Amino acid sequence: MELVNRARAAGATITHVEGEQLERALTTRTPQPIVAVAGSVSWSPAEVVVAAQASGLPVVVLAGVSDPGNAGTVIRSAVAAGAAGVLFTPGSVDPTNPKCVRASAGALFALPVGAVDDLDVLRDLGLTTVGAAAGGAGPDDVDLSGPVALVLGGEGSGLPEDQLVDEEVALPLEGGVESLNVAMAGTVLLYEARRQRNGGRW
């Protein structure tokens, strides 16, 4: 199998196990036939901000996002749409949670991921914080084109009260819908940031 050969060529240790053994070792009922064990690296806020300022890309901040599926999906969208990194505040899920790793579809290993105690740390490092919140300005009226911190709150409670942002942005909603899933909203805003960086083009 090509993937196994590539992993072996890269220096990975290959171990063959029976399907039942694999199922007992993992948290999923029907796991994929290939599993990798890898070490994790946690980036500091300063390192992520330096990457943002060098690339002109936003930093995604998950503030109180506890659902691992949503967090992993946001990481995947951050890679797809372009972000310098993803930071987790206290109260958020651990990015190495197995469900978060699976939902990221490998994106967890494609950009810097770390933790940040509070948004003041990012302000002190020179980033404007923009939070997704009901009642915020429309995406066209908020500058997402550069290295800003895009802050996404928890699924039920939204932005934590102790994490104050400089600006708020909200997606227009129709049909009586009160809110979007945090991963959906984050994905749309990341692509809006990409559109703004590209002069109005996707």
Instruction: Give the Å distances, CA to CA, from 183 to 3, 67, 110, 111, 165.
Output: 30, 10, 18, 17, 19
Residue 172 binned pLDDT confidence (cut-offs 50, 70, 90): very high
DSSP result, 122-171: HHHTTPPEEEEEEEEEPGGGS--SSS-EEEEEBTTTBS-TTS--SEEE--
pLDDT per residue as tens digits for the range 27-68: 777 767 777 788 888 999 999 999 999 999 999 999 999 999
Whole-model pTM: value is 0.90
Taking residue 46's Cβ as centre, other Cβ atoms within 10 Å add up to: 14
Segment 160-183 mean pLDDT: 93
Mean pLDDT confidence for 18-35: 74
Among 120, 75, 82, 116, residue whose Cα is nearest residue 96? 75
176: phi > 0 → left, psi -120 to 50 → alpha, else beta; which?
left
Give me the domains of the chain, ranges plus CATH numbers. Answer: 1-37 (no CATH), 45-197 (3.40.1280.10)
**What is the enclosing helix (H) or strand (E) of 115?**
strand 113-115
Cα(19)–Cα(27) distance, integer angstroms = 13
- Look up residue 48 and give its two tokens: 């992520």
- The mean pLDDT of the chain is 92
